[in-house]
Structure 1
Amino acid sequence: MPITLPRTLPAYDVLSREGVMVMGKEKSAQQDIRPLKIGLLNLMPKKIQTENQFARLIGATPLQIDFRLIRMTEHQTKNTAADHMAEFYRPFQEVRDEKFDGFIITGAPIEHLPFEEVTYWNELQEVMDWTQTNVHSTFGVCWGGMALLKHFHGVDKRMLDEKAFGCFRQQNLEPASPYLRGFSDDCVIPVSRWTENTREEIEAAGLKVLLGSDVVGPCLVEDADHRALYIFNHFEYDSGTLKEEYDRDVANGTPINVPGNYYPDNDPTKPPQNRWRSHAHLLYGNWVSEIYLTTPFDQSLIGQTSTDLRS
């Protein structure tokens, strides 16, 4: 089944050309099925790139997705045209009375700041509390995952001595997890962050690490009590995203290592290789499938019923 997107959203044409099933809202309204309503709270500066990345992954399943773009109410982006934000995004305060089957909180390039110093931290705390009554399953990505971990469990991020940057192999620590259905014993995922959370702290909080690395620490964490997943790395990245970050820092004179295990022969003059795409689709496909299998058909019951409705 297709993902439902506005026909004028840039992702509509991008995904259509790639063969992803995309449907306009008018046609969607004529179908006698209930699409899964998934919101994206987009905290990244490059809004359109991030929209494309997540829409590509959650739109690749046979299920119909009603994809909603959300922004913080007061925070104004400086990197995306105001008319794009006005046309496609709704502030959180306008959707707080709605129910969502799934909700993604993206990363944000503000790792160096303590959470309490982030200008929209108070509202983000409100969002995170709201997910417990209005969202069936939440997915926090990179800084977004660390923010959820901090808010719900008091586990704070730690600064690294140098940036974890490149493609790192992760071990499949819970092969029986429905979120890792079809996963290999290990997989590669792009990493780009200055902070980390330790496995010891995460497990001490009663959470389960699903994917992890001896080099860059935990990758994917399940928080069953809060119906949430936290991923600290970037399955959603395009093939060239790490290259863009590396080229930007080189151009700005910012000290940066060549992203490890990314370019052939570690040579940045060669085109980078994408070795994470299949597992990216598996993870987000598994997440969407679990939402479909467990979310109430009556959306008004979201946040009020058992998370296991398959039996």
Structure 2
Amino acid sequence: MPIKIPAALPAYETLKQENVFVMTEARAEHQDIRPLQIAIVNLMPTTIDTEIQLLRLLGNTPIQVDVTLLRMGSHESRNAPPGHLERFYVTFEQVMHNRYDGLIITGAPVETLPFEEVDYWDELVSVIDYSHDHVWSTLHICWGAQAGLYRRYGIEKQQLPEKLFGIFPHKVHNPRNMLFRGFDDEFLAPQSRHTESIQETIRKHPALSVESESDDAGIFIVTAREGREIYVTGHLEYDPLTLDKEYRRDVAKGLPIRVPRNYYPDDDPARPPVVRWRAHAHLFFSNWINYVYQETPYDLATLE
């Protein structure tokens, strides 16, 4: 089954060309089913790229998904095309009385700032608090994971000695966890961050469970409330060239940046990267969607 998105959304044509099953709103009106309601808080500066990455993964399941794109009304984006957010996104105030099967909170380029200094922090706090009893399962990605762990459990973040940047092997602690059905014992995933939530605090917190980690990159996936809260420190959703674009952007700006590890053949940026995480990315998101589908009450009004 497809994801339902507006036909005018730039991601629609891209995904259609990739043979991802997408459905327009007009066609979806004739479907006699209860699709999953998934909201995405897109905080990434690469607005359209991030839409495509997440919608591609959400569209690779047999379950129809209705997607609501959320923006922070308290923040003026300088990166989205003019009028794009106003046309395709809604603010939290517009949906704060709705209930959702799932919610995704993305990363954001603000990780070196204290949380309270982010201009939309108060609004994001309202979204995180709202998700506790209005959303069945919330998936936090990168800085979104740090923000969720800080808001819910008071876990601080700290600066890394240098940017954690590249493709790293990660281990699965519990193969029976619903998120890791079909996973290998070890899998690869992209990381791109300057900070981390303090790992020892996470390990000692009785409400949190470390589900996957890396010898080189540290904790990768943390869960709470039996999967209703999921925190992912990296970027399984990244496209083949996302790290390449980040690397070349920083080089052009003269910023201190190392070649992303385990990404280019022989660590040579002149050679195209080899994608080695795509299958597990699709599997992870499919497992999450299946979990949400199986566990969410049919009537979202009864969700607690």
2:302 paired residue number: 301
In the alignment, does 2:94 pair up with 1:87? no
Greater Cα shift, 108-117 or 196-205 = 196-205
- 1:123-272 to structure 2, matched below 5 A, reads 123-206=123-206, 207-224=208-225, 227-272=228-273
In the alignment, does 2:99 pair up with 1:99? yes
- Measured in 2, the distance between the counterparts of 1:265 and 1:103 equals 38
How many Å apart are 1:197 and its aligned residue? Answer: 2.4
- Measured in 2, the distance between the counterparts of 1:46 and 1:11 equals 13
- Measured in 1, the distance between the counterparts of 2:74 and 2:122 equals 11
Greater Cα shift, 2-11 or 194-203 = 194-203
Q: Quote the RMSD (CA, aligned, Å).
A: 1.0
- Measured in 2, the distance between the counterparts of 1:69 and 1:245 equals 24
How many Å apart are 1:173 and its aligned residue? Answer: 1.1
- 8 Å CA contact retained: 1:197, 1:217: no
1:29 paired residue number: 29
Residue 75 of structure 1: SS of its match in structure 2? coil
In the alignment, does 2:282 pair up with 1:281? yes
Structure 1 residues 274, 226: closer, same or farther in 2, change over 3 A?
closer
**Identity over aligned residues, as a percent?**
47
- 8 Å CA contact retained: 2:6, 2:12: yes
- Measured in 1, the distance between the counterparts of 2:3 and 2:22 equals 5
- Measured in 1, the distance between the counterparts of 2:63 and 2:265 equals 36
Query: What code does the residue aligned with 2:98 have?
Result: E
**Cα deviations across residues 269-303 of structure 1 (Å, max 9, x unaligned)?**
0001110000000100000000000011112112x
- 8 Å CA contact retained: 1:4, 1:64: yes
- 8 Å CA contact retained: 2:155, 2:198: no
Query: What code does the residue aligned with 1:287 have?
Result: W
> Could you list the runs of 5+ residues in structure 2 that have no partner in the other structure?
none
> Could you list the runs of 5+ residues in structure 1 that have no partner in the other structure?
305-311
TM-score (norm 2): 0.98
TM-score (norm 1): 0.96
Query: What code does the residue aligned with 1:289 have?
Result: N
- Measured in 1, the distance between the counterparts of 2:23 and 2:4 equals 5
- 8 Å CA contact retained: 1:42, 1:70: yes
How many Å apart are 1:209 and its aligned residue? Answer: 1.1
How many Å apart are 1:41 and its aligned residue? Answer: 0.3
Query: What code does the residue aligned with 1:232 have?
Result: T
In the alignment, does 2:289 pair up with 1:292? no
How many Å apart are 1:106 and its aligned residue? Answer: 0.4
**Cα deviations across residues 90-139 of structure 1 (Å, max 9, x unaligned)?**
01111101111100000001111011111111111111110012111100
- Measured in 2, the distance between the counterparts of 1:201 and 1:225 equals 19
2:7 paired residue number: 7
Q: How many residues align?
A: 303
- Measured in 2, the distance between the counterparts of 1:156 and 1:200 equals 11
- Measured in 1, the distance between the counterparts of 2:43 and 2:36 equals 22
- Measured in 2, the distance between the counterparts of 1:114 and 1:161 equals 17
Query: What code does the residue aligned with 2:180 have?
Result: L
How many Å apart are 1:200 and its aligned residue? Answer: 2.4
- 8 Å CA contact retained: 1:239, 1:274: yes
Residue 83 of structure 2: SS of its match in structure 1? helix
